[in-house]
Amino acid sequence: MTATALPAEARAYLVGGAVRDALLGLPPGDRDWVVVGTDAEAMQAAGFRAVGADFPVFLHPDTGEEYALARTERKRGHGYTGFVVHADRGVTLEQDLARRDFTINAIAQAADGRLIDPLGGQADLEARWLRHCSPAFAEDPLRVLRGARFLARLAPLGFRLHDDTLALMRGMVEAGELAHLVPERVWQELRRALAAPRPSAFLQALRACGALAVVLPEVDALYGVPQRPEFHPEVDTGVHTEMVLDMAARLAPGDATLGFAALTHDLGKALTPAEALPRHPGHEHRGLAPLAALCARLKVPNAERQLATDVCREHLNVHRFAELRDATVLELLERCGGLRQPARIDRLALACEADKRGRKGFGETDYPQGRALRACRDAALAVQAKDVAREGLEGPALGAALRRARIAAIGAARARLAAG
């Protein structure tokens, strides 16, 4: 940032996550600035490009960083868009900071390095509290999801949700405010939480305030559902889902697509008939309908939807991989599109490994099934139609020959693995 690029009367302050993360010693991300003492016309005259549709935000002409005019907000309707925004030369930095969500996000830094912290954000950073800035927090239902998502990122550092903030979030849920959230924003917050180091904290926070039953009822229904303790010492299916999520984050940090598959792999267990419990026969197929409903409601993108469907349907097959016939292995690979998109098999293997290791006492368990699945995928891919083509062989006959050759290659790969 070059101060000379700003209007002469303006003062810019670094705000939000950039200040918070620097104080926590975390890697820097995007930098956001708030500007006081000027207006939109002066910003544009200085070369800044206006990009904000709902409030005055501008891009710096050289760095491309976002500069927002200091503003206040007044609630006028439901949801997170029902606000009247006021931004002019008279709005102070302190007024702008007061409208923010959490105290740890309401710290500003001046050009000389001085911190402006009117709400005690530094003290909350030290105490590891996630605390709301003011009662106005309750005016924006998206903040319930943002708070849970922040915990998914910051819980490994010891952060907890302050009791007063939890009570406020619970009141927002009880008032029905979350019903006004649009699916795209729910998915956006969920996806960012799934890419965080401890996504289980996202579920725990939402469940604590009652929001999980509103935004992810298919997942909320898993809590309290028992499993066989010899396979699942943690017993509770909801707890198991949390453990699988965290294991997926450990195996593939930042991979939200894998995280979504981990989140939804056992949805069918909430639908197991009571007389069958704690067994869950057929839960992998029973889970496909609630998974489809969740994906449709949140408008989940195709990549996440496809992998989650594959994992939900196939995770038991992968667990018992050694029992499958060679032809069945090829069919599994084909069902999952693994011969057209080989990377889908890598993620399927990782998701199944997370499921196996996401159990009490199983965190360091080896998972040879994943290696075997990948090896069979590679063996099948190595066989091409040109390798089996013979004079006069075409159409269905060529396809049958290719299939037989791939099954044989899968068998040979499994034999090599068995031989060590």
Domains of the chain: 1-127 (3.30.460.10)
Burial class (CB in 10 A: 0-12, 13-18, 19+), 338: buried
Q: Rounded to whole angstroms, how far apart are CA atoms 277 and 226?
A: 7
**What pLDDT score does 95 carry?**
92
**Closest residue by Cα to residue 194 from 338, 20, 351:** 351
Do strands 11-15 and 108-109 pair parallel, antiparallel, or not at all (unpaired)? antiparallel
Pairing between strand 32-36 and 66-69?
Answer: parallel
Place of tokens 């019903």: 179
Q: Is the pLDDT of residue 175 over 80?
A: yes
* Residue 1, pLDDT score: 40
Closest CA to 18 of 108, 146, 117: 108
How does DSSP assign 276-338, residue by residue? Answer: GTT--TTHHHHTHHHHHHHHHHHT--HHHHHHHHHHHHHHHHHHTGGGS-HHHHHHHHHHTTT
Least confident of 39-53, 91-105, 131-145, 364-378: 39-53
pTM of the model as a whole? 0.91
Residue 381 scores a pLDDT above 50: yes
What's residue 103's pLDDT? 97
Residue 79 CA to chain centroid, in angstroms? 22
Pick the range with the lowest mean pLDDT from 50-64, 88-102, 296-310, 332-346: 50-64
